[in-house]
Structure 1
Amino acid sequence: MSGTLRKRARRNLDEPEEAKTEEMPTVEPFDIDNPSSDVEIYAKEVLASLIADNLPPTPNNFSLYFDRLLEDKSENLRRQIHSMLELEESNDDENTIALEQNLKQGFLSIKSILGVTANLYKNMALMNKILEKRKDELSASPDAKEALSVIGVLEGDVSKLNSILKTQSSKMKDIYDETATIVKTVENETIFDNKFGVYNKRYLLTKIEQEISLISEFKHKSSLMMIELDGTLKKSVKNEKAIVLMTRTIARLLLKTSRRSDIVSHYGGGVFSMLLKHTDLDNAKRAAIRLSELVSNSNFFLADREIQLKISIGITNIDSNYSVEEIVVSALDGIQKAYEDKKTDYAVSLR
């Protein structure tokens, strides 16, 4: 989009009122029928697709279609648009996640301070015992009266300091308990899973519920995928730390293969989910195949053993006639079907 701005004329205060005019800036409007760049042509195509699917061209719907249709475009156009998106990226959810992480880090710092204070208190108690021991040793010598007197004074000072420290430590523990309560309250409202770096179960269920309402209103199609490290692979590894590391690798690959409009979250117990908005079952299958290939090409090293990663994926459609729980259970059933079917890594499960 191009446009020319003219220099604003300086107003002459000595001129009569009717002569006091200034030239307004002019901007050349975007001609939707004659787009001048690849990006504008693509934007027009996105808008046309929304209208063809009888969806209102709201910012949210436009963003969803913008991401979805981009998958079938040339590598050059995708690269061009992604570079533009990176420059203007501003996500409220990301800001919320950063706030949650900072809050939890602050809580950990307070916990560390409490630990250091507790150790200091223990050391002061130990010092008291040492002083008492030295006093007993000196009392056995008849020439140590003056030393005993000094130690007695020192013992009294240490005792006072110890009492003050004990009081302060108690107050700090109270502050810690209050902070823990606040953090627990915040955690009940969080949207981020710190362990795996994706959204959490609470956020997922909220988004599925919202999507059900949107589907009921606009009649589009969306899908849900549940993803888990393959059961056979987990049984063969038998190393809890290694399984956690492999699961984190799966989380990173999910983020890598997802679109901006997809919701990647940790459902719990190492099971991940991907909410695919405006995506029917056929396109969800395509996404599952891409993800499966990406994972299978990622090897994991455990000591001198090389392990090929493998996942099981359950896919279901989001139907406004069913509850959030029924939809989630259906996708989880798909994981079990995929695990039992050795020919493929994914299975579709419908109610």
Structure 2
Amino acid sequence: MAGSLRSRNRRDVNATNEPIVAALDMDEPTSDLEIYSKEVLSALISDNLPPTPNNFSLYFDRLLEDKSENLRKQIQSMLELEESNDDENTIMLEQSLKKGFGSVKSILSVTANLYKNMALMTKILDKRKKELQANTEIQAAASIAASLEGDVSKLNSILKKQSLQMKTLYDETAKIVKNVENETIFDNKFGVYNKRYLMTKIEQEVELITEFKHKSSLIMIELSRELKDSVSNEKAITLMTRTIARLLLKTSRRSDTVAHYGNGVFAMLLKHTDIPSALKASERLCELVSNSNFFLADREIQLKISIGITDIATLYTVEEIVVSAMDGIEKAYSDKKIDFAVSLRQRSAQNTEKE
């Protein structure tokens, strides 16, 4: 399999016009992917980072951004053939579990309605029985009605007992689902990771930065408040916010973490990305969003976002890092000429670290 994949991608390397880093003594590479992998490994060694699978993956994505579109497409197509993500499998499991719980809830609702209808039927039979008893000429029919009432009452009693049993099972299932939700990593509403997962990833990144001294950044993104105020339609705002989430996923690297922090505010954890690179990423994201129009009835709306930027400073807690990025959003709003800004707290942290 590896041999066939190699032969399919063997071609003139110079056709891509990509710089080749020959810092490692290996056999002569036979494909663009091998050449690029050697370059990634050389970059890791040059930056004094251990060539672990995680670091290699991060640099693999990071360096690929500067390559030609032709090479990016070629490598991405190969990656798609072997991509297997444990987080994605977990997300699918979460979605299946919630869907199954929704089905159980629907069954309980149908059963409750059936019980109500049986109770109504019992009342109707009781009424008709009294009407028959008032007529002395049809005592036989009244006797049959009384017998039928007894049968319905027994059935109603059984159904009530089973309904209570089902409700108990439902309550137990609800507790299980609630416990699972406390451990979930996915936000169903916007199709990205949730706040819990984001905070965990930031905490892990702080530990990695403490160990390896590299730079990473966090950006917080929200739909422009001015735009939301001008629309005022909650359904339309939700649809626009979902559009922003899709665009964030579209522009992110595999090593980035895109999450919904809450109240329509999103976050992107940019690993091995310093502030200047985070600024460039924010600029590209703002351009991408501004070129995406949203149609509301006969009205065309140009989407707009505001972004706050901070670095992952080991001096602060995870919560303080998030607040720092949120302060960057407020700074962007304070200057009508910009859509993204670096947090003032981030600069303060840099000065403290230097001291």
| TM-score using structure 2 length | 0.89
Which residue in 2 is equivalent to 1:260?
254
Which residue in 2 is equivalent to 1:190?
184
Q: Which has the larger displacement, 262-271 or 139-148?
A: 139-148
Q: What amino acid does structure 2 have at the position aligned with 1:92?
A: D
Is 1:40 the counterpart of 2:40 in the alignment? Answer: no
Q: What amino acid does structure 2 have at the position aligned with 1:279?
A: T
Which residue in 2 is equivalent to 1:116?
110
1:136: Cα distance to partner?
A: 2.5
Which residue in 2 is equivalent to 1:156?
150
Which residue in 1 is equivalent to 2:173?
179
Q: What amino acid does structure 2 have at the position aligned with 1:203?
A: Y
Q: How does 1:35-114 map to 2 (within 5 A)?
A: 35-114=29-108
Which residue in 1 is equivalent to 2:221?
227
Unaligned runs of 5+ in 1: 4-29
1:49: Cα distance to partner?
A: 0.4
Distance in 2 (alpha carbons) for counterparts of 1:33 and 1:209 = 40
Greater Rg by CA: 1
Instruction: Spell out, residue by residue over 1:103-142, the C-alpha distance to the aligned partner (whole angstroms, 9 max, x if none).
Output: 1111111111100000000000111111122223323323
Q: What amino acid does structure 1 have at the position aligned with 2:58?
A: L
Report which of the two has the higher share of helix. Answer: 2
Distance in 1 (alpha carbons) for counterparts of 2:290 and 2:124 = 62
Is 1:296 the counterpart of 2:282 in the alignment? Answer: no
Is 1:337 the counterpart of 2:331 in the alignment? Answer: yes
SS of match in other structure, 2:136? coil
Q: What amino acid does structure 2 have at the position aligned with 1:102?
A: S
Is 1:141 the counterpart of 2:132 in the alignment? Answer: no
Which residue in 1 is equivalent to 2:271?
277
Is 1:305 the counterpart of 2:328 in the alignment? Answer: no
* Of 241, 244, 248, the match for 2:242: 248
Distance in 2 (alpha carbons) for counterparts of 1:300 and 1:142 = 75
Distance in 2 (alpha carbons) for counterparts of 1:98 and 1:53 = 37
Distance in 2 (alpha carbons) for counterparts of 1:32 and 1:121 = 76
Distance in 1 (alpha carbons) for counterparts of 2:121 and 2:257 = 57
Instruction: Spell out, residue by residue over 1:36-56, the C-alpha distance to the aligned partner (whole angstroms, 9 max, x if none).
Output: 111111000000000011000
| TM-score using structure 1 length | 0.90
Distance in 2 (alpha carbons) for counterparts of 1:343 and 1:41 = 43
Instruction: Spell out, residue by residue over 1:234-262, the C-alpha distance to the aligned partner (whole angstroms, 9 max, x if none).
Output: 11111111111111111111101100000
Q: What amino acid does structure 1 have at the position aligned with 2:38?
A: K
Which residue in 2 is equivalent to 1:326?
320
Q: What amino acid does structure 2 have at the position aligned with 1:217?
A: E
Distance in 2 (alpha carbons) for counterparts of 1:141 and 1:62 = 92
Q: Which has the larger displacement, 154-163 or 141-150?
A: 141-150
Instruction: Spell out, residue by residue over 1:293-349, the C-alpha distance to the aligned partner (whole angstroms, 9 max, x if none).
Output: 111111112222221111100000111122111111000001111122221211111
SS of match in other structure, 1:221? coil
Task: Give the number of aligned pairs.
Answer: 325
Is 1:206 the counterpart of 2:167 in the alignment? Answer: no
1:167: Cα distance to partner?
A: 0.5
1:209: Cα distance to partner?
A: 0.6
Unaligned runs of 5+ in 2: 5-23, 349-355
Cα RMSD (Å): 1.4
SS of match in other structure, 1:120? helix
Q: What amino acid does structure 2 have at the position aligned with 1:194?
A: N
Which residue in 2 is equivalent to 1:6?
none
Q: Which has the larger displacement, 74-83 or 297-306?
A: 297-306
Identity level (%)? 76
Distance in 1 (alpha carbons) for counterparts of 2:158 and 2:330 = 61
Distance in 1 (alpha carbons) for counterparts of 2:188 and 2:3 = 44
